[in-house]
Amino acid sequence: MTARTLNDVAFVEGVRTPFGKAGAKGQFAETRADDLVVKVIRELLRRHPELPPERIDEVAVAAATQTGDQGLTIGRTSALLAGLPRSVPGFAIDRMCAGAMTAVTTVASGIAAGAYDVAIAGGVEHMGHHPMGDGADPNPRFVADRLVDPSALNMGATAENLHDRWPQLTKQRADAFAAASQRKYAAALATGKITPDLVPVATRSTEQGWGLATTDELPRPDTTAEGIADLRTPFRPHGRVTAGNASPLTDGATGCLLASVDTAAELGLPVRMRMVGYAFAGVEPELMGTGPIPATEKALARAGLGLDDIGLIEINEAFAVQVLAFTDHFGLADDDPRLNPYGGAIAIGHPLASSGVRLMIQLAREFAERPDVRYGLTTMCVGLGMGGSVIWENPQYTGAGAADPAAETAADAARKAAESATVTMEGEAA
């Protein structure tokens, strides 16, 4: 009989491609989606030569539209294209916008259970090649049987619904938040906090020849609330959601290395974050943007934490109004300094299934410069009425209570209890 305990999960490294503008004029217009994933996988291995490729146990890659150059079990195909040993398996995963987040939590669960030692998780979305919903055929019963409001199938319309449901979530607040996101991203870029996580990608254009994508293509650093106040509202006449206070259509890929803490120590891999816990939750599909609220509440409750314990929050900015719904619910100011300190998807872009790991990449870098912060949160809304949240612990934490046994939190106690719950392979208590 072999005894087994739960393993702590380490976020070792995360990288992403620059994000490009979706469409014929974007920098990745003639680049395949799977080649974007290949660049990410190769960069993860390049940065960590101490990791033997044959030690990778799984490659999980998400895409919201799994067809064409994003289809054919892209986790496996991209692993083969990247030159990983043929013994390394892979799979594809879909939870719309939270695809990469789900890839991370799925393989992390495998690491915790002892099924994997090291895994790669990430996501890709080439919205220029595969517009959101392209080729989808929603069952007519969704609307005919009134299972959902018709607006539930249009993410922009669901954002307008948030404005309707909570009138205090005004367009003026949304525009101000969007402009702040652009400013924060510009400041982070100027101070060297974005570029280190990007992998350059060779590009090809029939008109312009070969090029090299090294920067995000979508930010508009000169954006002001006044300047976007009169943009058209494409989802509703006289609406409140505009191109200025929503994330743009984007092409890009992300990826990360995850390992058990013990395996990281064995191989000499860095531990940039430790996973505390995660949760997914469902909400009314027509109010998709509220998804981060119950997901965060569930994750915090399971970890024995409150939002006051969270020192950094990376929330995906699909639409400014869904972030405001989150801040209002938890009593946060719209400009709370914990919230997206490097800016968010309104500036950077939101390549659907890949965005969850982009949040984690930024949180890991923020942790490195904030040893006073112990816990951080990555959270996002998900199409068709869901939310996902992952809580992380900062291994660089040096706060006053770090060495004080009396300061042990419920999260610490819960983790220790789980670690001590030894179970035999037959499932009998040891």
- Is 256 an active-site residue? no
Query: Helix or strand or coil: residue 214?
Result: coil
The pLDDT confidence band at residue 135, using thresholds 50, 70 and 90, is confident
Exactly one of 48, 97, 126, 163 is catalytic; which is it?
A: 97
pLDDT in tens, 195-234: 999 999 999 999 889 999 999 999 999 999 999 999 999 9
- Position 366 scores a pLDDT of 98
Q: For residue 390, give the nearest of 416, 417, 358, 422 by alpha carbon.
A: 358
- Position 425 scores a pLDDT of 31
Please state, rounded to an integer, the average pLDDT across all residues of the chain.
Answer: 92
Please tell me the pTM assigned to this model.
0.92
pLDDT at 402 over 60: no
Q: For residue 119, give the nearest of 51, 69, 33 by alpha carbon.
A: 51
For the beta carbon of residue 270, count every other beta carbon within 10 angstroms: 16
Burial class (CB in 10 A: 0-12, 13-18, 19+), 335: exposed
pLDDT in tens, 320-374: 999 999 999 999 999 999 999 999 999 999 999 999 999 999 999 999 999 999 9
Run of H or E including 42:
helix 33-47
CA distances from residue 246 to 254, 287, 398 in whole angstroms, order as listed: 21, 16, 37
Domain ranges of the chain: 3-129+147-394+409-418
Which residue in this structure is represented by tokens 């996501």? 123
- Is 329 an active-site residue? no
- Position 134 scores a pLDDT of 85
- Residue 279 carries which side chain, given as an amino acid letter? A
CA dihedral 12, 372, 196, 277 (to 10 degrees): 40
pLDDT in tens, 138-192: 899 988 998 999 999 899 999 999 999 999 999 999 999 999 999 999 999 999 9
The pLDDT confidence band at residue 5, using thresholds 50, 70 and 90, is confident
**What number is the average pLDDT over the span 109-132?**
97
pLDDT at 4 over 80: no
- Position 1 scores a pLDDT of 60
The CATH number corresponding to 3-129+147-394+409-418 among 3.40.190.10, 3.40.50.11810, 3.50.50.60, 3.40.47.10 equals 3.40.47.10
Query: Helix or strand or coil: residue 196?
Result: helix
